Amino acid sequence: MVKMEKLHHKRDADELFKEFKETSITEFFRKNRAHLGYSGKLRSLTTVIHEIVTNSLDACEEAGILPEIYVEINSLGNEHYRVFASDNGPGIPIRHISDVFGKMLAGTKFHRNIQLRGQQGIGVAGVTMFSQITTGKPIKIRTSTGNGKVYEVKLMIDIAKNRADIISKNEYEQYWRGTEIEVELKNVKFNLSDKGPFEYIRRTAIANPHARITFVDPEGRKTVFERSSDKIPKPPIAIKPHPKGIEVDDLLQMAKASNARKVSSFLTSTFARMSNAKVKEIQEYVSFDLNKNPRRLTWSECEEIVNAIRNIKFLAPSTEGLEPIGEKQIRSAVLNILDPEFESVLTRPPRVHSGGTPFIIEAAIAYGGHAGRNSKEGVRAEVMRFANRAPLLFDAGGCAITKAINSIDWKRYGLKDIENSPITIFVNIVSTYVPYTSAGKQSIAEEKEILKEIRMALMDLGRKFQVYHSRKRRAMEREAKRQILMKYSTELAAGLAKLTGEDENKILRDLQELIEEKIRTGVILEEGEKEGEIEMEVIPEETEGEEELELEEVV
């Protein structure tokens, strides 16, 4: 009888590891493109528009240029489209075109602690990759920095090597500045739903009132979102990391790359709010001399420094690197596009999340007019989520903004059925580092500090809406009473004329003037009410049991 183990071929270690090999980052994302937002026909097309428009806005703002962006989608067949986009930005130097469009994790954003829409250096390279795996065709780029030379390049990505494969390159003279992109896509779908490219452009226009965006859809319908502000946002400033957010491995890698001669000078030159006095405090907690070379720091020594930092109080991070939209700009954009009967906007004071990353929450509520979203059941509530002015259309269920909105009892503020109300809720998080839940950048992680700040902002707006709603209800009640009194004044005037022999028309005029005066002065009220009083529940501001940190308070 043959033993069972002889039926199985035994494999030694060399054979087991025969297929062991390195995988490029591009190959990883090609097989896992859902991580980048390419999951679904509609979402994939919207993601392409998102990446292209985001790059244009970031480039224009860093260069101090008022953005002029043009996006056109042409249908080439069933689920086959061509996307053309152009901007008036600073252009891309020829030596960087290959890395921008043909290499994953290459760019100007990931290594800087700066407020930009993009963060990882994947975005537009992901567009190139998605195009070539669905059509087999290269992306076409035309760009100029305004130096009189224009470059036209066609390229694809060498998946195995994570680098650009240049198909063709052409150079000619022309005085023009900007960037144009043309890309073909298959297995994608366009529609006018609230997850589609048009809605993405519309919300981008609301959050970026300084931009002029033209959009042409596959049916040839042209929509121009004119800018409602000529104020160019201040160019974002890279800021030093705050010591409270540092991890041991981060500190070790920074130290190895430092040119400082001493750990003490390395700390003061690398981190915000790190003074010589703070370095002296750290010295009291650690077992080694901070005058040693930072490149010789060990893991355990870095761990000592991090633990010391946790026991020391630091000022909150500076917000000079943050540039919110601004209440005036949001109000201008909301009124320009939604034309509501009520709107309220506010900006919360700066806070920190994840130990030391500064952020600001901006929020607005628009009610009536064109607010809300149209559906088969009528007008429904609309939530507009943004991160650094970029719309977030997908993965709403797991987003901190959605969680915060759903956690509020809106009935307390006069919105008994918020889901079926003509209301738009706008929330924008501004930060040098937005904690997205994935590389698709569509959902914000549920950081405790971020959730709290969004709740505080929305509750403040809710109280303002309640005052408006109460006044509107009282006005409607008074108008109803006026109509009733006016209706019976005619009969009363006729009766009084018979009893007194006076002119009926004169009596009617006097009665109606008296009614108007009493209604206007608030004399005609329900029994037990005082003149000028607004009937409403007084709702104190919630603090959730925590003291709020002001900007310059101690972390």
Q: What confidence score (pLDDT) does residue 524 get?
A: 54
**Model pLDDT for residues 485-533, shown as the tens digit of each residue:** 777 777 777 777 777 877 778 777 877 777 777 766 665 544 444 444 4
Q: What is the mean pLDDT of residues 320-333?
A: 82
pLDDT band, residue 468 (cuts 50/70/90): confident
Q: What confidence score (pLDDT) does residue 535 get?
A: 41
How much of the chain, in percent, has pLDDT values that exceed 90? Answer: 34
Please give the mean pLDDT across all residues of the chain. 81
pLDDT band, residue 68 (cuts 50/70/90): very high
Q: What is the DSSP letter of 355?
A: T
Least-confidence region, from 206-220, 261-275, 471-485: 471-485
Q: Which tops the pLDDT comparison, 472 or 244?
A: 244
Least-confidence region, from 42-56, 300-314, 352-366, 515-529: 515-529
Least-confidence region, from 47-61, 101-115, 202-216, 415-429: 101-115
Q: What confidence score (pLDDT) does residue 357 get?
A: 79
List the beta strands (DSSP E) in 31-138. 68-77, 80-87
Q: What SS3 class is residue 391? A: strand
pLDDT at residue 266 above 70? yes
- The residue type of 339 is D
Q: What confidence score (pLDDT) does residue 22 get?
A: 54
Q: What confidence score (pLDDT) does residue 333 get?
A: 74
pLDDT at residue 110 above 80? no
CB atoms within 10 A of CB 37: 25
pLDDT at residue 401 above 80? yes
Q: What confidence score (pLDDT) does residue 220 get?
A: 94
Residue 177 tokens read as 């500045």
Q: What is the DSSP letter of 197?
A: H
CB atoms within 10 A of CB 291: 11
SS3 assignment for 67-80: CEEEEEEEEEECCE
**Model pLDDT for residues 127-151, shown as the tens digit of each residue:** 888 889 899 899 999 999 988 899 9
Return contacts of 110-114, CB within 8 angstroms, 24+ apart. Answer: 112/238, 113/238, 113/239, 113/240, 113/241, 113/321, 113/432, 113/433, 114/236, 114/237, 114/238, 114/239, 114/321, 114/432
pLDDT band, residue 371 (cuts 50/70/90): confident
Q: Is there a contact between 333 and 365 (Cβ–Cβ < 8 Å)?
A: no
Q: Which tops the pLDDT comparison, 20 or 439?
A: 439
What are the C-alpha distances in Å from 249 to residues 151, 193, 254, 281?
Answer: 42, 45, 9, 22
Q: What confidence score (pLDDT) does residue 28 get?
A: 62
Q: What confidence score (pLDDT) does residue 71 get?
A: 97
Q: What confidence score (pLDDT) does residue 476 get?
A: 64
Domain boundaries, the chain: 25-225, 243-310, 327-467, 469-521
Closest CA to 244 of 436, 449, 404: 449
How much of the chain, in percent, has pLDDT values that exceed 70? Answer: 79
pLDDT band, residue 358 (cuts 50/70/90): confident
pLDDT at residue 29 above 60? no
Q: What confidence score (pLDDT) does residue 530 get?
A: 46
**Model pLDDT for residues 475-490, shown as the tens digit of each residue:** 666 666 767 777 777 7
Q: What confidence score (pLDDT) does residue 46 get?
A: 92
Q: What confidence score (pLDDT) does residue 516 get?
A: 73
Alpha-carbon distance of 168 to 443, in angstroms, equals 38
pLDDT at residue 115 above 70? no
Which superfamily is assigned to 25-225 in CATH? Histidine kinase-like ATPase, C-terminal domain (3.30.565.10)
Q: What is the mean pLDDT of residues 161-190?
A: 90
Q: What confidence score (pLDDT) does residue 86 get?
A: 95
Alpha-carbon distance of 126 to 154, in angstroms, equals 15
pLDDT at residue 469 above 70? no
pLDDT at residue 280 above 90? yes
Q: What confidence score (pLDDT) does residue 493 get?
A: 74
The CATH number of 327-467 is which of 3.40.50.720, 3.30.230.10, 3.30.470.20, 3.40.50.12780? 3.30.230.10
The number of residues in the chain equals 555
Q: Which fold has domain 243-310?
A: Helicase, Ruva Protein; domain 3 (1.10.8)
